Chains A and B, each alone.
Chain A
Amino acid sequence: MEAASNPFKPSAVEKRKTRVESIVKWLMFGMAILLIIPVFGILFHLFHKAAPVLSWDYIWESPTNRGKEGGIWLPLIGTFYLVLVSLVIVAPVGILAGIYINEYAPNNWFTRVINMAVTSLAGVPSIVHALFGVGAFVLTLNMGACLLSAACTIAVMTIPVIVTATREALAAVPMAFREACWNMGASKWQTIRTIVLPNSISGILTGVILEISRAAGETAPILFTGAAASVAVRMNSLGDKLMPYELDDRFMALSYHLHVVAEKIHGMPEEMKYGTAAVLIALILLINSFSITLRIFLRSRKKW
């Protein structure tokens, strides 16, 4: 009787459909949560375990007794110089490559191949990059295993990060901007230099920051190209402390140091392992938050 009085009452089929839909919805929400919660739980655990050693002294002191005591200054500054040198190499090449692909490249099969090469380069396993670094920089160019070889290897590996970001940033600049500039009699390069680049610099910057985060975390490419488990450097003055490595020195890096303290040395105190991991992950998360904040800020004040 009631069913007849309410013609909009859902039928059995419709009820089942709604039920299935809500089950699926919660299931998928569960998957997304399952992905995120454990990882952040682990990170919390990691910082919790590392808390006893984390202090300014831990960052400022150099490791002694093969990393069992002391701090992590030498690996930290090594990572800094590795990132800096790789950035100096990769940023110009990557940005110019992005400009070529978005502004100059004709729409033909060759450009398609270039784009495929960019994605392929991004997908090459990091250990293969390490082998390339050994073959090309350490042996063929005879640079030896050193900071410069490692930075070159990292640079080749991270080209796609900057190319992709630059390409997308340039593509976001409206075509009308370029057309207006051309109509004023500017050449192609003048247009790019004065109109397109200033309007896309923020997107390019995001790519550069992503490169920094990648370069700081990578371990495999520097394994055979220059990273060392320990180095002997003079530590007499502040200058030595701030610039302990020459370009042709072997160096310590945070990521490789973590590998060494976590796996290679017996009797390593737990908190030293967790401390190194915590500093590395904090560094990476910090760099990434910076890039995300920058992106959100720039999106909010976009003019067109």
Chain B
Amino acid sequence: MIRKSQAKLGAFLDKAEKPIQWLITLCGWSSIIFVAAIFIFILKESWPAPLTLNWGEFFFSHRWIPVPAEGNEPTYGAMGIMYGTLAITVVSMFIAVPLGLGSAVYISEFATPKLKETLKVLIEFLAAIPSIIWGFIGLVIMGPIIQKVFGVAVGVNLLNASIVVGLMAVPLIVSISEDALRAVPDSYREASLALGASKWEMIYRVLFPAAKNGLLAACMLGVGRAVGETMAVWMASGGTDNIPENFFDPMLLLERVKALTATIAGEMPEAVNGGEHYQVLFIVGIVLLTISVVINVVSDLIIKGFKADKA
């Protein structure tokens, strides 16, 4: 009975080859359709603010006052929140890039096969931890620790957010750099070791130059991850959009910052649907979307080269 109906279904599916192929093609194009749709719908919601917005103010002022006091005009200077995103990205990369590259080299070159599998599985688990959990760790667990260690009033700040985001970006960096290192042919390693190089000299002088595109792309994707991270940054960064006077003051690590993503997440519920504030938040969304698409396309070009691959 089951066999019969199975055969019937099979015959039906074979007859339907043409429409099924159209369906498959349509689904194949879905990613392009959705990326375009994301641009279009976000632009649509932000309209007409892109025409009326004072772009000079948006990029070069740090007065982000969407809900001003009585009698004042709202101002949308996003420089302060762009600084927040930039600061979190830079500091988190100081944590994520060395840790990520170091672990990738260890996993791909030094670890025994068993240890390698174990480390890869553990790092996969690390990648699976959702951003809300990281935010929780930053807010509830690391916040009080930072408060105690540095003797500051509030534990959610640039340092906290950067550590959290750095740890979140590491698994991505590890997996892509490890792919890049594995793609280097073994004959390179053997040639260099046969010439008397130590393993470290081989890694430093042969593997890194050979895999540099992949490693660079890994770091770029890490940056993309850090720029786009929302929940963890929102919960662990504190949220004040001051621009510091001296960018190299280490005490800045203990200042609270506000990122682009967190601004959208925090202010959307307050913004009046269709109001100017609402539209400007969608413009911030376009800025984020543009940054992430550019980073992804460029890193794709870096990894695969500019010509279409032959495979």
Asked whether, in the complex, the Cβ of A24 is within 8 Å of the Cβ of B200, the reply is yes
Query: A28-B102, A125-B229 are known contacts. Are A259 and B29 too (CB-CB below 8 A)?
Result: no
Select A262's contact among B136, B167, B225, B297, beta carbons within 8 Å: B136
Of A65-73, A108-116, A230-238, A244-252, which stretch is located at the interface?
Answer: A108-116
What residues of chain B have their CB less than 8 Å away from a CB belonging to chain A? 10, 13-14, 17, 20-21, 23-25, 27-32, 34-35, 37-38, 41-42, 44-45, 98-99, 102-103, 105-107, 110, 119, 121-126, 128-133, 135-137, 139-141, 167, 170, 198-201, 203, 221, 224-225, 227-231, 235, 261, 264-265, 268-269, 281-282, 285, 288-289, 292-293, 295-297, 300, 308, 310-311
| Residues of chain A contacted by B13 (CB below 8 angstroms) | 189, 193
Within the complex, which residue of A39, A130, A213, A220 is in contact with B126, where a contact is CB–CB below 8 Å?
A39
Q: Tell me the bound Cα distance from A24 to B204 in angstroms.
A: 11
Interchain CB contact under 8 A, A45 and B261: no
- Say if the beta carbon of A176 comes within 8 Å of chain B: no
B-chain residues with CB within 8 Å of residue A217 when the two chains form the complex: 128-133
In whole angstroms, how far apart are the Cα atoms of A211 and B21 in the complex?
Answer: 25
Chain A residues near B (Cβ < 8 Å): 17-18, 20-21, 24-25, 27-29, 31-32, 34-36, 39-40, 42, 45-46, 92-94, 96-97, 99-101, 104-105, 107-109, 112-132, 134-136, 139-140, 156, 159-160, 163, 187-190, 193-194, 213, 216-220, 223-224, 255-256, 258-259, 262-263, 273-274, 277, 280-281, 284-285, 288, 292
**A128: B residues at CB distance < 8 A:** 38, 42, 228, 285, 288-289, 292
Contact of B221 among A104, A123, A256 (CB under 8 A): A123
Among B34, B42, B98, B132, which residue has its beta carbon within 8 angstroms of that of A258?
B132
Chain A nearest Cβ from B161, distance in angstroms? 14
Contact between B14 and A118 (Cβ–Cβ < 8 Å)? no
A-B residue pairs in contact (CB < 8 Å), sample of 8: A17-B201, A20-B198, A31-B106, A42-B141, A46-B137, A114-B29, A117-B31, A288-B124
* A135 CB to nearest chain B CB (Å): 4
Which chain B positions have C-beta within 8 A of A36? 119, 122-123, 126
A280 closest partner in B (C-beta): B133
Contact B28 A132 (CB under 8 A): no
Partner of B136 from A114, A163, A258 at Cβ < 8 Å: A258
* Cβ contact within 8 Å between B25 and A156: no
When C-beta atoms are compared, the residue in chain B nearest to A262 turns out to be B136
Known pairs A120-B35, A128-B228, A284-B133 / 5 extra A-B pairs, C-beta < 8 Å: A93-B30, A117-B31, A125-B261, A134-B45, A262-B140
Tell me if B103 and A132 are in contact (CB < 8 A): no
The chain B residue sitting closest to A217, CB to CB, is B130
User: Which A residues lie within 8 Å of B27 (CB)?
Assistant: 92-94, 96-97, 99-100
Q: Known contacts A129-B38, A285-B125: does B198 contact A17 (CB below 8 Å)? A: yes
Partner of A96, one of B23, B38, B311: B23
Contacting pair B31 A105 (CB below 8 A): no
Partner of B128, one of A96, A118, A263, A288: A288
Q: Please determine whether B32 and A114 come into contact, CB atoms closer than 8 angstroms.
A: yes
Which A residues touch B140, using CB under 8 A? 262, 273-274, 277
Determine the chain A residues whose CB is within 8 A of the CB of B25 once the complex forms.
100, 104
